[in-house]
Amino acid sequence: MKSKKLTFKNRDGFHLSARFDYPDSGKGKNSVLFAHCFTCGKNLRAAGNISRALTDRGLSVFRFDFTGLGESEGDFADSNFSSDVNDLLDAAEKMEEFTNLPSVLIGHSLGGTAVLRAAGDLPSVKAVATIGSPCSPAHVIHHFEDHKEEILSKGEAKVQLAGRPFMVKKQFLIDIQEQKMDDTIRNLGKALMIFHSPTDDTVSVDNAARIYKLARHPKSFVSLDDADHLLTSESDSRYVGEVTAAWAQRYFNN
């Protein structure tokens, strides 16, 4: 796998850090846009393993840090689910400069919920894969349930997420609660692959069942057996990449 680091400017004027991975043989004909999990980043080991598995099978992969996370500019406190979706749309547009518009969207955890929302605005996308994703972004409220009243009354509060302090503002809560994901999933209009572990203790597998029930065919579900939420085992993350690559081939216009 070959890889290039780059930046692109989103619609709010922030420079977002990205990585473009592609096969040793050259840029793949079909490309994947990858969205990382909540408060994670493009350099999460699982993301790298998935990307390597995809490039090994001839696909190019574009992954980036959402606004205010990783190496990207901006303040996480001023971001929300809607801005993440906009970052995805801006990233998809940027991809055309390096490879081609995305054929596949892959999202991990809340990133999966975001790609479900963004897919309808990306005609080039033929297939969408989610990994351990909540059926609604409001699911993340449980991470700071103890601070919810403080956020609503004072407008913001500092909370611990994944062992790190983050400022969460009232606008974030309002935004995720306003999302109408049921209709979005029903009207996805793309092939859908849902990966989820039945032992995921961060996002219950019931979320996968809900997404599957709402979505129309073609749709598929793959159980990740005893994998954890962050796919810390290399075998689990590479498996996701390998299965996605094989499945998505069916929807490419080769």
| Mean pLDDT, rounded, for 210-229 | 97
| Mean pLDDT, rounded, for 220-225 | 97
Evaluate whether residue 148 is within a structural domain: no
Residue 144 has pLDDT above 90, yes or no: no
6-15, 43-52, 245-254: lowest mean pLDDT where? 245-254
Six-digit token pair at 115? Answer: 């790609």
Give the Cα separation of 51 and 46 in Å (integer).
8
CB 127 within 8 A of CB 191: yes
* CA 72 remoteness from chain centre: 16
pLDDT at 254: 54
Evaluate whether residue 11 is within a structural domain: yes
Give the Cα separation of 176 and 198 in Å (integer).
25
Range of the domain at 229: 2-138+182-251
pLDDT at 164: 83
Please choose, from the candidates 39, 47, 40, the residue with its C-alpha nearest in 3D space to the C-alpha of residue 19: 47
Evaluate whether residue 21 is within a structural domain: yes
Find tokens 């303040």 and name the residue.
75
CA distances from 238 to 56, 160, 226, 241, 243 (A): 10, 29, 15, 5, 9
For 222, residues 6+ apart whose C-beta sits below 8 A from its C-beta are 193, 194, 195, 196, 243
Mean residue pLDDT across the chain? 95
25-39, 68-82, 126-140, 189-203: lowest mean pLDDT where? 25-39
Residue 139 has pLDDT above 60, yes or no: yes
Beta strands in the chain (DSSP E): 2-9, 15-22, 31-35, 60-64, 104-108, 127-131, 156-161, 164-169, 191-196, 219-223
Evaluate whether residue 61 is within a structural domain: yes
pLDDT at 160: 84
| Mean pLDDT, rounded, for 124-128 | 97
Evaluate whether residue 177 is within a structural domain: no
pLDDT at 27: 76
pLDDT: is 162 or 80 the higher one?
Answer: 80
| Mean pLDDT, rounded, for 133-162 | 90
Please choose, from the candidates 110, 97, 126, 114, the residue with its C-alpha nearest in 3D space to the C-alpha of residue 32: 126
Residue 237: pLDDT band (50, 70, 90) is very high
Domain CATH number, residue 243: 3.40.50.1820
Q: How many domains does the chain have?
A: 1
Residue 82 has pLDDT above 60, yes or no: yes
Greatest Cα pair distance in the chain: 56
| Mean pLDDT, rounded, for 73-78 | 96
Evaluate whether residue 104 is within a structural domain: yes
Q: What predicted TM-score, i.e. pTM, was given to this entire model?
A: 0.95
| Mean pLDDT, rounded, for 65-69 | 97
Evaluate whether residue 161 is within a structural domain: no
pLDDT at 253: 75
Evaluate whether residue 153 is within a structural domain: no
